[in-house]
């Protein structure tokens, strides 16, 4: 296939049956990037985004006044998102049922962008079977000021320890400060089982290598270390999805990378919504084709 690097052949928002209002409104003021720029980014990477976003209960971060003020999380339906933004009833702990949002085709994601969504976050399961996660996520949260080299080393260490249990994992640059280490699962185990694995495994690592890791969410336990945020693996929790933009300076995106290239990467926010063409090129390269793919049984631990 021809290289997309010069921006030719990229899909744009105009290729979708979408009424995009205020495309010239600046939503990343430091970067002079507009709602139209964001919609064009999502249009270009839509097929890649949908690999993980499709049929997954999602939480949106919407920012009607631009990326830095009045942003809010939305996980329930307000009834007005768009014709292709769908609802799935989810039983809450208190016995009530709430409609959660999901999409199953790119136009649904674009409709969310029209409604000022910047970020797409998702559950660890799809809507069916909702109670059986299809992935584990270890969200590595470095202490304030800890260098990215330490985060990379920790991610590689975590990869090795999960590989020792037979789990293949894939690194995601969060677009913020950290790395998410993702293991696809075969949807054979329920939420309590997956959460329990994530917690016990994280606590064991923190005990074995306390100079690097903590499994304690309290910030004052983090000093110079990396919090292994296993809490992403409980029913209802979300993590940012691959190719989601972030409502942060620089308009970064959450980007899948390979373990081979990770040691050379300079930060978790090196890709931005300006990089749609190179993200598409990267995805077409062999190394990233199988990112996040596979159906693995949760190992015993």
Of 23, 64, 176, 294, the residue at the interface with ligand ATP (CB under 6 A) is 176
Residues 273/275/278/284 CA torsion (nearest 10 deg): 0
**Could you report how far apart the first and last alpha carbons of the chain are, in Å?**
44
CB atoms within 10 A of CB 37: 22
State the residue number with the nearest CB to Mn ion.
229
- Asked if 268 interacts with ligand ATP (CB under 6 A), we say yes
Dist CA 153 CA 99 (whole Å): 40
* Contacts to Mn ion from residues 125-164, by CB under 5 A: 139, 141
Stretch that binds ligand ATP, among 29-37, 46-54, 197-205, 235-243 (CB under 6 A): 235-243
Q: Based on CB atoms, which residue is closest to ligand ATP, 40 or 125?
A: 125
State the residue number with the nearest CB to ligand ATP.
176
Of 62, 177, 195, 282, the residue at the interface with ligand ATP (CB under 6 A) is 177
Dist CA 146 CA 65 (whole Å): 31
- Asked if 119 interacts with Mn ion (CB under 5 A), we say no
Q: Which of 124, 112, 108 is nearest to 234 (CA)?
A: 124
Dist CA 111 CA 73 (whole Å): 16
130: left (phi over 0), alpha (psi -120 to 50) or beta: alpha
The structure tokens listed for 152 are: 């990379």
- Asked if 73 interacts with ligand ATP (CB under 6 A), we say yes
- Asked if 72 interacts with ligand ATP (CB under 6 A), we say no
Q: Based on CB atoms, which residue is closest to ligand ATP, 268 or 283?
A: 268
The binding site for ligand ATP (CB under 6 A) comprises 59, 73, 121, 139, 141, 174, 176-178, 229, 232, 238-240, 268
The binding site for Mn ion (CB under 5 A) comprises 139, 141, 178, 229
């Amino acid at each position: 296939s021809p290289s997309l690097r010069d921006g030719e052949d990229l899909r744009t928002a105009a290729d979708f049956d979408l009424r995009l209002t205020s495309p010239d409104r600046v939503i990343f003021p430091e970067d002079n990037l507009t709602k139209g720029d964001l919609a064009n980014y999502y249009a270009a990477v839509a097929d890649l985004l949908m690999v993980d976003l499709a049929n997954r209960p999602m939480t949106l971060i919407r920012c009607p006044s631009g990326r830095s003020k009045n942003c809010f999380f939305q996980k329930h339906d307000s009834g007005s998102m768009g014709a292709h933004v769908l609802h799935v009833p989810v039983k809450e702990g208190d016995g009530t049922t709430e409609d959660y949002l999901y999409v199953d085709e790119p136009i649904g994601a674009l409709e969310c962008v029209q409604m000022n969504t910047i970020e797409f976050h998702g559950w660890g399961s799809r809507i069916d079977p909702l109670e059986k996660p299809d992935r584990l996520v270890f969200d590595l949260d470095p202490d304030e000021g800890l260098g990215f080299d330490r985060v990379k080393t920790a991610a590689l260490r975590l990869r090795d320890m999960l590989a020792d249990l037979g789990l293949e994992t894939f690194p995601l640059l969060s677009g913020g400060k950290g790395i998410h280490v993702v293991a696809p699962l075969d949807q054979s185990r329920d939420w309590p089982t997956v959460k329990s694995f994530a917690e016990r495994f994280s606590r064991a690592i923190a005990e074995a290598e306390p100079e690097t890791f903590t499994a304690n969410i309290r910030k004052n336990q983090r000093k110079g270390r990396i919090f292994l945020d296993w809490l992403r693996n409980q029913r209802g929790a979300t993590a940012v999805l691959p190719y989601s933009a972030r409502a942060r300076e620089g308009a970064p995106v959450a980007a899948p990378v390979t373990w081979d290239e990770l040691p050379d990467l300079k930060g978790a926010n090196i890709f931005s919504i300006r990089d749609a063409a190179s993200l598409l090129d990267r995805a077409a390269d062999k190394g990233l084709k199988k990112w996040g793919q596979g159906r693995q049984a949760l190992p015993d631990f």
